[in-house]
Amino acid sequence: MHKEGNMTPHINAKKEDIAKTVLMPGDPLRAQFIANNFLKNVKIVNKIRNMFMYTGLYNGKKITIAASGMGQPSIGIYSYELFRFYDVDNIIRIGSAGSYKKDLKLYEVVLAKSAYTDSTSFSEIALGKKENISLPSRKLNNKIKKIAKNQNIYLNIGQIHSSNVFYAKRNLKETIKKTKSICVEMEATALFTNAKITGKNAACLLTISDNLITKEEISPEERQNSFIKMIKIALELA
In DSSP terms, 165 is beta-bridged to none
What sign for the dihedral angle of Cα 28, 33, 39, 43?
Answer: positive
If phi > 0 it is left, if psi is from -120 to 50 it is alpha, else beta; for residue 218 that is beta
E strands present in 47-177: 53-58, 61-66, 90-99, 109-116, 133-134, 155-162
**Catalytic one of 17, 89, 103, 210:** 210
Alpha-carbon distance 172 to 175, whole Å? 5
Backbone angles phi, psi at 207, to 5 degrees: -115, 135
Is residue 103 part of the annotated active site? The answer reads: no
In DSSP terms, 102 is beta-bridged to none
For the chain, the C-alpha Rg in angstroms (whole number) is 17
- How many C-beta atoms surround the C-beta of residue 17 within 10 A? 19
E strands present in the chain: 21-24, 40-46, 53-58, 61-66, 90-99, 109-116, 133-134, 155-162, 183-185, 201-211
Helix (H, G, I), strand (E, B) or coil at 192: helix
List active site positions. 210
